[in-house]
Amino acid sequence: MIFFKTARRQFPSDLYLLDEVLSWFNQIHESFIPAKVWSQCQLALAEGFTNAVRHAHKDYSAEVPIEIEVTILAEYLELRIWDRGLPLDLPTKLQQMQENTNERAEGGRGLIILFKMADTLTYSRTEDDRNCLLFVKRFAEEE
Amino acid sequence: MSSVVKVVQPSGILDGIKANQLRREISDVVASGATTVLIDLTDVTFMDSSGLSALVSALKMVRTAGGKLYLCSINDQVKMVFELTRMDRVFDTFSNRNDFNAAIANLEP
């Protein structure tokens, strides 16, 4: 099967818009995507978007946009989220979080959730000084 | 000594915004003397890690006050978040409100 669909949209840096972000994402849904995988992609989008608002754009006004692009192919989905925050080394950050998070911790689980669900997770600096979070999820069950 | 049971029922998307609201509600019911608190998640359609953080805060608040916190009616999406973070071991959960009521009735004849 050859399948390709992509959608891109900008949202202001506002936590109140998560509902709208998820609604937009659900309009892109394709019936061949397994329910569990779609649910994980929704969660990845929520974590990625709120992380950008809360951390990368912490000191920015809400007008600074967060750009989201979703690409659905026959076998996997790619989610890209661009922010305009400072650079960050994701592997180092993830390692710190995994060492520090205990059962009683009240926060800091977003990145770990993203990492656990992803087949690929990267956070890279772009040429125009933005960061791009890339989350790739395959539709086939693992193993 | 009889316990005071209070139920809190958030709805919609349990994210960072609703998380703060939930923390306030739990803080209020604890302050009002509740010793058993149930968070009924029937109407929660989606939860992210901020929502989960609020549930952990709720657990801490209730326990600090010497009470017990329970959850009920968890949908598959919420269950997934618990499993990904291994928090499913941390919470006492019931499949629905009736099961919770029956269990509480047994505890207090």
pLDDT digit string, tens, across residues B64-105:
999 999 999 999 999 999 999 999 999 999 999 999 999 998
pLDDT digit string, tens, across residues A23-66:
999 999 999 999 999 999 999 999 999 999 999 999 999 999 99
Closest approach of A8 to chain B, Cα-based (Å)? 22
Spell B4-26 as b/e; 16+ CB within 10 A means b: ebbbbebeebbbbbbbeebbebb
Is A100 a residue whose pLDDT tops 80? Answer: no
**Residue B41 covered by a domain:** yes
Which CATH number goes with the domain that contains B29? 3.30.750.24
Chain B residues touching A39 at Cβ < 8 A: 76-77, 80
Nearest to A109 among B52, B76, B89 (CB): B52
Q: Where are the alpha helices (DSSP H) in A2-108?
A: 18-26, 35-51, 90-100
Give the structural domain span for B57.
5-104
**Residue B109 covered by a domain:** no
A-to-B residue pairs, Cβ atoms closer than 8 angstroms: 62
Count of domains forming chain B: 1
Is B34 a residue whose pLDDT tops 80? Answer: yes
Are the beta carbons of A77 and A117 closer than 8 angstroms?
Answer: no
User: Cβ atoms within 10 A of the Cβ of B72, count?
Assistant: 22
What architecture is domain A4-138?
Answer: 2-Layer Sandwich (3.30)
Note the pTM of the prediction, 2 decimals. Answer: 0.93
Written as one letter, the residue type at A54 is R
Nearest to A15 among B17, B77, B86 (CB): B17
Do A103 and B48 make contact, defined as CB atoms within 8 angstroms? no
Where are the domains positioned within chain A? 4-138
